[in-house]
Amino acid sequence: MAGALDHLLVLDLTSHLSGPYCAMLLADHGAEVIKIEPPQGDSARAMPPFVNGESAPFMTWNRNKRSVVLDLKQAADKDALWRLVDQADVLVENYRPGVLDRLGFGWPELHRRNRRLILASISGFGQTGPYSARGGFDLITQAMSGLMSTNGPADGPPHRLPIAISDVTAGMFLAFGVLAAVEARHRTGEGQHVETSLLEAATSLAVYESAHYFATGTRPERIGQAHRGSSPYQCFQTADGYITLGASQQKFFRQLCELVGAPELLADPRFATNADRVRHNDALVAALGEKLRTRPSAHWLAALEECGIPAGPVLYYDEVFTDPQILARDMVVETNHPVTGPFRTMGVTVKLSATPGSVRQAAPRLGEHTQEVLTRKAAE
């Protein structure tokens, strides 16, 4: 079955994670994505761990693509790229601002050559502004966006989220921008330059924190596991592990107090409303935690589910990728790589009923499709 984007030809000039992740999302939904790599390859090909010498991270976010090697310092290879540009719908790049212009493929030149082309750019800090020339990594933009200032224990130092949140969200936002530009092109016939940055992507996640600052003018404090607007809403220790539960709604809070055998909490004026509970969250968590530590996780999760109170276990990744719900939603799929053989990876997150996305092929070897793509395009 054809994917929703099978009419799009995408040139992926990106490396590492943010740009490749954007191009992967487009490829998963049917776009033909040609990954243009320098002779040394995408830097992510050197990232451990390896499977038979192939980078598992690289294979994870470069599936459904084909690899073409071009040295853009060479005139012949520049000409080859221009021939691909003539037929492309989208060009994705994550060079530092100014590099693409120096290579001769800046937005004015691209737009003159192919009026329908959409140029999609990710950078550390954006194409404009006083920081635009700086290089930016996930770590740096987590720090500068405020994410680190609010993450971690309330009495501890700032913490980096141990996932590449700036990279991945920037890739998602750019894919959204590409689709918005494709929709606009249906009306105007013209492409446009779409861009975002790791800094903006990370900053945009501060929905509660920005509301706090704009409303009060004060710095949001680090509050550890607590939630800024809901209580109880966090992780709790049980007799044999940890669970999460969200019982800030009044009916859920009443049910929870009865379930754990603490009806006295319902009569405590500190916990009368959700706003009261947020203000006195530490005291509430201490009281609930004492009760929850008396029974194992399985007991509480079964009881909470029976009551309809949202709750879940804290899973490690070996448990996540064997969880029946994850498997039922096809979030673990297997591809066949010519070097590694069978390779498991994550599935397609967004499900479309009529034109579903799919993982059709493993990530390409470096330059695997150079001759095929350039010969075919030249013939066309």
CA dihedral 37, 38, 41, 43 (to 10 degrees): -100
Place of tokens 């044999």: 240
Question: In this structure, are residues 133 and 202 in contact, taking their beta carbons and an 8 Å threshold?
Answer: no
Question: What is the residue whose two structure tokens read 């690289």?
Answer: 58
- Who's near 53: CB < 8 A, 6+ residues apart? 339
Classify the phi-psi angles of 146: left when phi > 0, otherwise alpha if psi is within -120 to 50, otherwise beta.
left
- Give yes or no: 186 in active site: no
Distance (Å, whole) CA 124 – CA 105: 20
Can you tell me the distance from the alpha carbon of 255 to that of 18, in angstroms, rounded to the nearest whole number?
Answer: 44
111, 159, 193, 227: the active-site residue: 227
3-class SS string, 41-89: CCHHHHCCCEECCEEHHHHHHCCCEEEEECCCCCHHHHHHHHHHHHHCC
115: phi > 0 → left, psi -120 to 50 → alpha, else beta; which?
Answer: alpha
Which residues have a Cβ under 8 Å from the Cβ of 95 and sit 6 or more positions away? 13, 121, 123
- Alpha carbon of 239 to those of 242, 290, 294: distances in Å? 8, 10, 6
Q: Strand 242-246 and strand 311-313: pairing?
A: antiparallel
Q: How deeply is 354 buried, as exposed, middle or buried, from its count of CB atoms within 10 A (0-12, 13-18, 19+)?
A: exposed
Counting every residue written for the chain, the total comes to 380
Residue 177: what residue type? Answer: G
Residue closest to 193 by CA, chosen among 148, 133, 128:
128
Phi, psi angle pair for 205, to nearest 5°: -75, -10
Backbone angles phi, psi at 339, to 5 degrees: -100, -45
Active site residues: 227
